[in-house]
Structure 1
Amino acid sequence: MTVPLVRIDGRRIVDRESFHDVFAEAFGFPDFYGRNMDAWLDCLSSLDSSDDGMTQIRPPEGGVVVLQLDHADALSARCPEIFEDLVDCSALVNLRLLERGLPPVLALAFQKGRRSTEAPRSTRHTRA
């Protein structure tokens, strides 16, 4: 099973406007995307809906989409409220599905200020 990986460069996000620009581009949100966290949540809550046109990314049957946030530490330091909203709303995407008896579809992965091909300095699993 191939797992879709959507990579977001946290350095590109400097404010709410750029947050919505980056995510709309990466996930293929529709032209009418409302550019607020409610609209973001609605678009990503439809990852498992193949026909609604809210996003161009789909998980495999029974699988997940991995949202990899590169330079997560930089984003968290520069825009802590946006980073917190990203984490909280990602959890809500999955909670909405769980409440309907469906499996989660969104997994988060954080890369600190290093390329993903570099070996981690620790084997501990930490949140950026």
Structure 2
Amino acid sequence: MPSASLNGEIITGWDSFHSESAKAFGFPEFYGRNMNAWIDCLSYLRDEDGMSKFRLKENEMLNIEVLHSEKLRQHAAEILEELEFCIAAINERYDDYGEKPALKLILR
């Protein structure tokens, strides 16, 4: 299964979260650096939309690993909560299209 890692040790706020995300997921230069743009970039991983470096096969999932997740929870709990919420929303969008979920959050 493909995976992307976010380093919770260096995510101290929204700016660093979006920088880490852009790097980990290969978002395009014009990535809007907000959670609406984050959701848009990860909503069509099984299509050729060019919004991420990942292209999933049918029924394949992308593991999103948050390394040092306890550090992130200590310094920016709202980011971790929003990440969990957005992943659930994206998976719900896939379900609405009759597809299996595409994202799995792993806290390490």
| Fold agreement, TM-score > 0.5 | yes
How do 1:87-126 and structure 2 match up within 5 A? 87-111=84-108
Match of 1:86, SS?
A: helix
Distance in 2, Cα, partners of 1:43 & 1:12: 22
Q: Deviations over 1:26-75 (max 9, x none)?
A: 100011110000000110112121x2111011223321010111111110
Q: Deviations over 1:64-101 (max 9, x none)?
A: 01011111111011101111111100111100110111
Structure 2 runs not aligned, ≥5 long: none
Correspondent of 2:79 among 75, 79, 82: 82
Correspondent of 1:15 among 2, 13, 16: 13
Give the number of equivalent residue pairs. 108
Match of 1:11, SS?
A: coil
Correspondent of 1:38 among 36, 39, 42: 36
Match of 2:9, SS?
A: helix
Structure 1 runs not aligned, ≥5 long: 112-128
Structure 1 runs, 4 residues or longer, greater than 4 Å off: none
Task: Tell me: higher relative CO, structure 1 or 2? Use CA pairs within 8 A at least 6 residues apart.
Answer: 2
TM-score, normalised relative to structure 1: 0.81
- Percent identity, aligned pairs only, is 41
Residue pair 1:5, 1:67 contacting (<8 A) in 2 also:
yes
Structure 2 residue 27 is the aligned partner of structure 1 residue 29: yes
